[in-house]
């Protein structure tokens, strides 16, 4: 199946700092990428949909100025958590959907963010 990578896999930061997470589709071009957040023992919640070359579409309740998304190329999307706070600590997962892969979303390995 298609391969999606995320970097970093784990990050610990101080409150007030910003953290950037990268999501890459390694063997296909992803016209659309999705960003999810998962709190312990809960399911994945969609944060935003990212389309290459255009602004991201955010789900209700997700602050676009706090979670900055950039989808600059067909293989890379970035999520920047600005001025992170302890309540932002979570498992952030991206997925990518490419042309010709039957609309299936393939997930990256996730990034565990801990804000102290």
Considering only the stretches 13-21, 40-48, 64-72, 82-90, report the one whose residues sit in contact with other proteins under the rule CB under 8 A.
40-48
CB-facing half-sphere around the CA of 100: CA atoms within 13 A: 3
Considering only the stretches 18-26, 44-52, 64-72, 75-83, report the one whose residues sit in contact with other proteins under the rule CB under 8 A.
44-52
108 binds other proteins (CB under 8 A): yes
Residue 109: CB minimum distance to other proteins, A: 5
Whole-angstrom CA distances from 14 to 18, 43, 55, 67, 90 are 9, 26, 28, 17, 14
The separation between the first and the last C-alpha atoms of the chain, rounded to the nearest angstrom, is: 36
Provide the mask over 48-87, with x wherever binding to other proteins is found by CB under 8 A and - wherever it is not: -x-------x------------------------------
104 binds other proteins (CB under 8 A): yes
CB 58 within 8 A of CB 66: no
CB 33 within 8 A of CB 50: yes
Contacts to other proteins by CB under 8 A:
1, 32, 34, 42-46, 49, 57, 91, 93, 95, 97, 102-110, 112
């Amino acid at each position: 199946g298609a391969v999606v990578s995320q970097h970093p896999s784990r990050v610990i930061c101080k409150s007030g700092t910003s953290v950037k997470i990268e999501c890459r589709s390694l063997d296909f071009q992803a016209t659309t990428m999705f960003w999810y957040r998962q709190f312990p023992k809960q399911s994945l919640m969609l944060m935003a949909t990212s389309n290459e070359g255009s602004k991201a579409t955010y789900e209700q309740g997700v602050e676009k100025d706090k979670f900055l998304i950039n989808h600059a190329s067909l293989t890379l999307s970035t999520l920047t958590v600005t001025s992170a706070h302890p309540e932002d600590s979570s498992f952030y997962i991206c997925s990518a959907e490419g042309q010709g892969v039957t609309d299936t979303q393939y997930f990256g390995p996730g990034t565990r963010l801990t804000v102290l």
